Structure 1
Amino acid sequence: MSRKRTQTLPDIYKPKRRLCSAAAALASNGQTTVISALNGDIGDVILNDTHAFLKRLRGLFPADKFKHKLPPIVLKHQLYGMMNDRTKVDQELNDLRKRGVVKLFKLGSEADEYCILFTNDYEEHVKKTMTALSMSPILIERFSSNVVKKCQDVCISKETLMMDYRFSDFEITQLVKASVITVKEIGNWWLSIPNAGTFMKCFLRGRKAVLTMIRKCKYKEILRKDLEHRKWPKICRLGLIYHVHDIIGGELVHCVQTTSGQLLRLKE
C-alpha cells in the first residue's frame, strides 16, 4: 500500500489575496489608503477621506455636456453632506490646498459659498482659455507656474501680482480679459474660473428643478433612491445625482433614515 507524501508549499507559491480586497477592507473600516495601483495607476494617490470623496464628486460632473469648456467643479458643501463632519472636511481640504492638489474659488454672494477644482484641471482649463484668446505663451506660462501653482488663497492683491510675480498693468488687464481673475475691490481680485457664469446658470436652474420635484410629492418628501431614478430635464445639464448631493450638503432638505432608505423632506 503506497502512501502519498504531503508536501507543504513555501509561502511564495501560495495564492495571495488580491490587493483590492485589502483596500476594500480598509475602506469598510472608514480608513483611507495611499494605494492606487489597484487600477494600474500608481500616480493616482488618495491622500485622505476628503480627497476620496472629491474624486467621486468630480466623476459626477458631466464635462461632455459642456463640450469640455468647463473643468469638473465640486461644491464645498457637497462634501459636508457626504462626510457629516465639517471640521474634518475643512482640515483635510486645507491640507490638500497646501499640497497643491486642489484650489478653492469663491462662488455666489454668500460668505461661505465656495467651489473646488483639482489644480491640474484648473491649470489645463486656464491654458486652453488663454490660448484660445491668442494670449502670449509667456504670460500663460507665468500665470500657470506662479499664480495657479503657488497662490493658495481665493483672492490676490495688486501688490502680490506686481511685486512678487512681476506682472505689468497691461498683463493684469489681459488676465482680467481672460476671466482668470475678477475684481473683488480696488487693488484686489478674486481668482476665478473662465466660463463660470455658464456653470452657475445651469447649477441654479438644476437646483430649482430638483426642489420643485420634491415640492410636488405627497407631504413634500421622497425616498432618495426614487428621486435619483426619476427622469431629469435635459436642459439641466449637471444631472440629478449631482444636485442631490447639492441639496443635502446645502441643508435644503431634511434627511431621515427609514427602513426603506434615506428620505428627503423639503425644508419650509
Structure 2
Amino acid sequence: MSRRRRRLEDPRAAIEAKRRRPGLPAEPPRPDGSPAAVEAALGAVAALFPRRLFGDALPPLLLRHQLYSLVPDRTAVDRHLERLRAEGRLRLLHLGLGPDALGVVSARLYREKALAAVAGSPREPLVRRFLEVAVMARPELSYGERDMRDMGFGDSDVTQLVAVGLLTVRDVGSWWVAVPGVGRFVRALLRGRRALLSLFRRARLRQLPQGALGGGKTPPGAALGVPFLLHDLLGEGRLQSIPTPAGPLLRLAEP
C-alpha cells in the first residue's frame, strides 16, 4: 500500500505527524476541497502549534477557520471535519471565541493530555470514565444535565470535571466539552491577534508585504508565532491576501 493511500485511510496522521515547519501562508494552497487537501491543511497548521510554549501540556490545537486560509472551499472543509468527528478521529471544541470559532484537535492526543493532567490523582478514574463514555463516544460540543445523568454522571462528578477543565459552563444545566488548560491558549491567541493587527493599523495604507513578516524578530505578544496567527487572521477574514508580482500583500480588511 502506498504512503499516499495510508495517509488518506488514517487522517489522524495528518494532524499528528511531525513535519518540517512550513512557512507563511504564501505557500500555494490546494483549493480543490478534496479530503487530501483538507488533511494536508490540518497537518500544516497543526505543525505550527507551539507545544513548548505550553510545556507540552496541551495537544496541538487549531481553529477551524485557519483551514479556510489554505482550502477556500469552506463547505468542503466543514464536511470533511464533520466526517472525521463522526468517526471519532477528531474532536471539535467550543473555545469561547464566538459561535463559529471552533477548535480542532486529534481525539487521541486530546485523550492522552487529559489523562496526563490527572495522572495519579483521585480524579483519574472519573476522568478516564468520562473520556470513554462521553468524549470518545459522543461527539457533541456540549452536554446537558440530562445527558450527564444518562451517561452516569451526577452533580459531584460534573463539579469535578469542571474543576479539572474537561467541562466549562455553557448555561444553567449545560456544559461545553473543553481541554484542560485551554485558557492559556485562548489568552495567547487574543494577545497575538492584537499584536499583529496593531502592526497593520500602524502601517502605511494598513498593508504589509507578507514576506516582511516571515523573518526577523517575532512581534511582542505574538508568542504563538506569526505563521500560526496569520492563518487565523486570514481564515477569519480580518486580513486579505492580494497577489502581486513581488508576492502576497496582506491588507487589513475594512471594518
Same-fold call, TM > 0.5? yes
Higher mean C-alpha displacement, 112-121 vs 229-238: 229-238
Q: 2:171 corresponds to which residue?
A: 185
Aligned to 2:231: 245
Distance 2:92 2:130 in 1: 17
Using structure 1 for the length normalisation, give the TM-score: 0.80
1:105-164 deviation per Cα after TM superposition (whole angstroms, max 9, x unaligned): 1122522111111111211121122337x233321221121122112111011212211x
- Give the TM-score, by structure 2 length: 0.83
1:210 corresponding residue in structure 2? 196
Q: Which residue of 2 is the match for residue 44 of structure 1? A: 13
1:88-120 CA-partner distances (Å, limit 9, x unpaired): 011111111011111111122522111111111
Larger radius of gyration, structure 1 or 2? 1
> How well do the aligned residues superpose, as a CA RMSD in angstroms?
2.3
Question: Is this contact kept in 1: 2:162–2:168, CA < 8 A?
Answer: yes
Paired residues of 2:63 and 2:232 also in contact (CA < 8 A): yes
> Which residue of structure 2 aligns with residue 261 of structure 1?
247
Matched, 1:70 2:58: yes
Q: Which has the higher contact order (CA 8 A, sep 6+)?
A: 2
Which string of whole-angstrom CA distances, capped at 9 and with x for unpartnered residues, describes residues 155-174 of structure 1? 011212211x2122222211
Change (3 A) 1:107 1:224: same
Q: How does 1:93-172 map to 2 (within 5 A)?
A: 93-131=81-119, 134-163=121-150, 165-172=151-158
Q: Is the 8 A contact 1:232 1:239 kept in 2?
A: yes
Name the CA shift for 1:45/1:242 in 2 (closer, same or farther; >3 Å).
Answer: closer
Question: What code does the residue aligned with 2:135 have?
Answer: V
Equivalent residue letter for 1:34:
R
| Contact 2:95 2:178 (C-alpha < 8 Å) held by counterparts | no
Alignment-derived partner of residue 16 in structure 1? none
Runs of 5+ in structure 2 lacking a partner?
16-34
Q: What's the % identity of the aligned pairs? A: 31
Q: What are structure 1's unaligned runs of at least 5 residues?
A: 1-18, 24-32
**1:12 aligned partner:** none
- Relative to structure 1, the CA distance from residue 45 to residue 232 in structure 2 (aligned partners, 3 Å threshold; closer, same or farther) is closer
SS of the counterpart of 2:45?
Answer: helix
Aligned residues: 233
The 3-state SS of whatever aligns with 2:241 is strand
